[in-house]
Amino acid sequence: MTEDVQKHSVHTLVFRSLKRTHDMFVADHAKPVSLDETSHKVKMAAKLRADYSAVLHMPVLKEGKDRPLGSNMPGNQNYAQPGDDPEYLITGTHAYPSGPGVALTADTQIHRNPSEGGVHAMALALPPSQARLDASRTAAGVGDIHRNAGGAERSPAPHSHAMSLLEGGGTKNSSLVARKAPTMPKPQWHAPWKLFRVISGHLGWVRSIAVEPGNQWFVTGAGDRTIKIWDLASGKLKLSLTGHISTVRGVAVSTRSPYLFSCGEDKQVKCWDLEYNKVIRHYHGHLSAVYDLDLHPTIDVLVTCSRDATARVWDIRSKANVHTLSGHTNTVATVRCQAAEPQIITGTDKGSHDSTIRLWDLIAGKTRATLTNHKKSVRALALHPRQYTLASGSADNIKQWTFPDGNFIQNLSGHNAIINAMAVNSDGVLVSGADNGTIHLWDWRTGYNFQRIHAAVQPGSLDSESGIFACMFDHSESRLITAEADKTIKVYKEDDTATEESHPINWKPEILKRKRF
């Protein structure tokens, strides 16, 4: 038996279809949930406690119901007058919290504004300097701010002792006092540096320098594949070491053992015993030229960085490759080690697609932080010997950072060249050496560039061969040694005859021009 289908008009069917569609999609998850009054109050109370707990104790004037109409109009200031005796209620944490078994009394539940006479008596009892200081305060109370909010013209709060001395029932109000405008600190005066000695002897670009811990001699590595040891006092050659088959890019002298470490573009990392002047260990593993190395100051660990985009951590004694620090996408140009975290810092060369600085966790062998602020390759890093800070040099500018997280401090702009080397001493003198042969000296704290040096190349060299590849202070910090492209080593010292009068600070603060990135 077939059941007759009831026929409906098209209008009815369309309406039913619309109704079904509406019922199906009425629970739209994208729609905001309707506001629940109770949960909103709880949320606002928590937000008040979290954000404004410091000022919740300030009293709010209890508005009287018998106040005449128009009393809250803009420009009409309702300040407490003597004799009005308005009641003040505590809106935040109670001034008299009830202890165990102690109930609040009627006197402690409600605070009353101190009378004008009492305030004057207290002001007179204070020392004169303190009374003058408190009387000069002009901070308005919270009640005044509420009453005058939205006014067309805000007039300053009157100089009354009642408002300034005992704002908020005896608590001095410091949160509303106007802050001092930011000022640039004046740079410290540093004596200018002058060329003291030029040492020649290498037959190629001098690429690296290291000073031994006793401050008697220093080591250089060069493009002539040799390592030379020089007497620091006289500048005379003491010893030449051969063994590398390509440019020597990094040298380091151990403070913990009589060892010298060197690395070069031949992928080799060597450990030299300075008692026998022979290579006693090789550290194999890098797949390309090794550009820099550094020794950990407190443990027997050597860190090298290479064109294969890695830095490697070696155990000095066992020659084991403890960690391979991978993460950079291009040549790692420089590496620095320190005793505190982060114990290893690396900077990358070659172009804008990886111009980053990485701070490494030595124990885990992983990146702790990546600093991406530089736009050009980072070839130089300098650790401050006393502060917990770092400077990085790039062709865009020099940047200063704080450890352990690598927070940015400031830019040092003006050395518009490719910066290959940097050094800093404990007096706060930062030196940056560039590819064009210029040396800039900066005040570390303020970033003031107090001297620029462009030493002449040695006779017989081209002007284009004036480039700084490495620079370092000796351990007394009275000598600055630079390794240059004209195959010489130049030694600078402070000018003893200079004074603040003969070389004044030409300081012009540029607060607005200092880029904050």
Phi and psi angles of residue 15, each rounded to the nearest 5 degrees, phi first: -65, -45
Q: Which pLDDT score, from 0 to 100, does residue 416 have? A: 92
CA proximity to 206, closest of 395, 472, 489 = 489
Residues whose CB is less than 8 angstroms from the CB of residue 369 and which lie 6 or more positions away in sequence, other chains included: 342, 358, 359, 405, 406
Q: pTM for the complete prediction?
A: 0.65
Distance between CA 333 and CA 380 in Å, rounded?
8
CA proximity to 290, closest of 329, 257, 244 = 244
Residues whose CB is less than 8 angstroms from the CB of residue 324 and which lie 6 or more positions away in sequence, other chains included: 285, 310, 311, 312, 313, 365
Phi and psi angles of residue 402, each rounded to the nearest 5 degrees, phi first: -110, 150
Please give the C-alpha separations between residue 397 and each of 18, 383, 387, 506, 515, in angstroms, as whole numbers.
65, 17, 21, 21, 11
Q: Which pLDDT score, from 0 to 100, does residue 15 have? A: 86
Sheet containing 407-412, strands listed edge to edge, beginning at the edge strand earlier in sequence: 378-383, 389-394, 398-402, 407-412
Q: Which pLDDT score, from 0 to 100, does residue 150 have? A: 46
Q: Which pLDDT score, from 0 to 100, does residue 459 have? A: 87
Q: Which pLDDT score, from 0 to 100, does residue 164 have? A: 43
Q: Which pLDDT score, from 0 to 100, does residue 20 have? A: 84
Distance between CA 109 and CA 299 in Å, rounded?
63
Averaged over successive runs of 10 residues, the pLDDT of the chain (517 residues) comes to: 75 87 70 79 86 68 48 45 44 46 51 54 51 45 48 44 43 55 80 95 96 96 97 96 97 95 97 95 96 96 96 96 94 95 91 83 94 94 95 95 94 94 96 96 94 90 89 96 96 94 83 51
CA proximity to 283, closest of 253, 310, 321 = 321
Tokens of 54: 């410091």
Tokens of 351: 């172009």
Tokens of 36: 């629940």
Tell me, letter by letter, the H, E, C secondary structure of 183-205. Answer: CCCCCCCCCCEEEEEEEECCCCC
Distance between CA 363 and CA 69 in Å, rounded?
72
With contact defined as beta carbons under 8 Å apart, do 478 and 194 qualify?
Answer: no
Q: Which pLDDT score, from 0 to 100, does residue 152 have? A: 42
Tokens of 119: 């305030």
Distance between CA 485 and CA 468 in Å, rounded?
6
Instruction: Dump the DSSP string for 276-314.
Output: TTEEEEE----SS-EEEEEE-SSSSEEEEEETTSEEEEE
